[in-house]
Amino acid sequence: MPHYDIVILGAGASGLWAAMTAAKRGKSVCVIDHGKKAGRKILIAGGGKCNFTNLQATPADFVCRNPHFVKSALARLSPWDVVSFVENHDIPWEEREHGQLFCRDSAEDMVEALLLECRKAKVVLRLDSEITGVTQADGFQVTLEKGQVTAASCLIALGGPAWPQVGATDMGHRLAKQFGHTIIPARPALVPFTLPSDWKLKGLTGIALPARLTVGGKSFTENLLFTHKGLSGPVALHASCHWEKGQEMAVDFLPGNRIESLLVEAGGKPLVRTLLSRILPERLATALVPAKLGGQQIAQLTLKDQERLVSLIHDYRITPSGTEGMRKAEATSGGVDTADVSSKTMESRLTPGLYLTGELLDVTGQLGGFNLHWAWASGQAAGESM
């Protein structure tokens, strides 16, 4: 039975980064994954260009029951450290808005670089190997569909169940639970919303506009996209990280402007609908504002009419019926409760020698390269310590 210093479950972003880091310290490392390829989520990240970090990353960009948990790992691997890795491998990259860094050519460059580092440091990579169980007695025994691997330390880097099309499972949650960890129920995050079939704004598929979404006291301003099922676009994906089933959201369709001032500027003569069609997509304006109100001259509006317009445009209330689920979620919220994990080393406080990193933990980054950054940073913390 092959024996290693470290066995890493999952050849995803976090597992590969941890493997490279630990093996460079002279540890013998075996990485196991059931995929035929390593890093399958990295390959599809950022539409195939992999938004690999964000220059503006701070702990506030992560949702976690303990907001302090991410601080130590983030302090030890900065976005510029990731840029150094990328540049050392001559990977062309570009900065897009909001500090987001992408591979200029392909996410494959990132996976190739990680695999190259692993090969150089003699990491053993076992792909196409389903992990069926882990036990502990004098080290860790990992049972595979075919064979077993033993090691002194074990890192669970199996991610979360979001986007199962590329091999994501809840196996990591099940294993962590087996070792006594509390699992905060997993929910789809960074996912489009679905809306009730009788929703008034149905049928606006394809319309996109900047909007502000407020949910649970948090507001986000970015592009909103109407889909045939509900709402998507960056602002909806951001909001989904904070949304709980049954919760109401408020939409401001005109962020950064006020309809009250625009009514004054337009003068009294134009019809309300004429003004609205200048400042909002016409189909949205028609669906949003009742025909009677839209057909009035601005000068005829009563105070009540004006208040109605303000609330329709700046404070439109919706309660999603749900989300498009794990198959459309770019991240998993919830996961292993960080209360029982060391924030410095990612070691379990319940089982010495067991480590947990990446999306498996109850840490969800906002849209913009934060989730991969967390995978690298937590992988680095574990890789330095195992």
Among 371, 377, 380, 382, binds ligand FAD (CB under 6 A): 371
**Which is nearest to 66 in space by CA: 345, 372, 364, 332?**
364
- Binding of ligand FAD at residue 14 (CB under 6 A)? yes
Residue 107 or 259: the one with the smaller Cβ distance to ligand FAD is 107
Contact mark string toward ligand FAD, 288..307, x via CB under 6 A: --------------------
Among 33, 61, 252, 337, binds ligand FAD (CB under 6 A): 33
Q: Where are the alpha helices (DSSP H) in 253-369?
A: 259-266, 272-279, 282-288, 291-294, 303-314
**Are the CB atoms for 252 and 315 separated by under 8 Å?**
yes
d(CA 375, CA 52) in angstroms, rounded, equals 10
Among 57, 64, 103, 331, binds ligand FAD (CB under 6 A): 331
Residue 191 or 280: the one with the smaller Cβ distance to ligand FAD is 191
Residue 119 or 200: the one with the smaller Cβ distance to ligand FAD is 119
d(CA 98, CA 286) in angstroms, rounded, equals 33
**Which is nearest to 42 in space by CA: 114, 95, 104?**
114
- Binding of ligand FAD at residue 11 (CB under 6 A)? yes
Q: How many other CB atoms are there within 10 angstroms of residue 373's CB atom?
A: 28
- Binding of ligand FAD at residue 372 (CB under 6 A)? yes
Angle, in degrees to the nearest 10, between helices 303-314 and 259-266: 130
Least spacing, CB of residue 18 vs ligand FAD, in Å: 9
Amino acid sitting at position 70: V
Subset of 138-177 contacting ligand FAD (CB under 6 A): 157-159, 162-163, 167-169, 171
Least spacing, CB of residue 372 vs ligand FAD, in Å: 3
Subset of 336-365 contacting ligand FAD (CB under 6 A): 358-360
* Tokens of residue 4, six digits: 């290693």
Stretch that binds ligand FAD, among 38-46, 89-97, 110-118, 264-272 (CB under 6 A): 38-46
Q: Which residues of 116-154 are buried (b: 16+ CB within 10 A; e: fewer)?
A: ebbeebebbbbeebebeebeeeebbbbebeeeebbbbbb
Among 109, 330, 347, 362, binds ligand FAD (CB under 6 A): 330
Residue 46 or 281: the one with the smaller Cβ distance to ligand FAD is 46
The number of residues that bind ligand FAD (CB under 6 A) is: 38
Residue 31 or 298: the one with the smaller Cβ distance to ligand FAD is 31
Cα-Cα-Cα-Cα dihedral of 53, 58, 61, 67, to 10°?
A: 130
Q: How many other CB atoms are there within 10 angstroms of residue 207's CB atom?
A: 17
Determine the residue with CB nearest ligand FAD: 12
- Binding of ligand FAD at residue 44 (CB under 6 A)? yes
- Binding of ligand FAD at residue 134 (CB under 6 A)? no
Least spacing, CB of residue 50 vs ligand FAD, in Å: 6
- Binding of ligand FAD at residue 131 (CB under 6 A)? yes
Residue 115 or 158: the one with the smaller Cβ distance to ligand FAD is 158
- Binding of ligand FAD at residue 230 (CB under 6 A)? no
**Are the CB atoms for 310 and 348 separated by under 8 Å?**
no
Subset of 50-109 contacting ligand FAD (CB under 6 A): 50-51
- Binding of ligand FAD at residue 380 (CB under 6 A)? no
Least spacing, CB of residue 349 vs ligand FAD, in Å: 20
d(CA 135, CA 158) in angstroms, rounded, equals 16
Dihedral sign for Cα 331, 332, 334, 339, please.
negative
Q: How far is CA 75 from CA 86, 101, 212, 279, 364, in A?
A: 19, 19, 31, 44, 17
Residue 33 or 337: the one with the smaller Cβ distance to ligand FAD is 33
Residues that bind ligand FAD (CB under 6 A): 10-15, 33-35, 40-42, 44-46, 50-51, 130-131, 157-159, 162-163, 167-169, 171, 330-331, 358-360, 369-372, 375
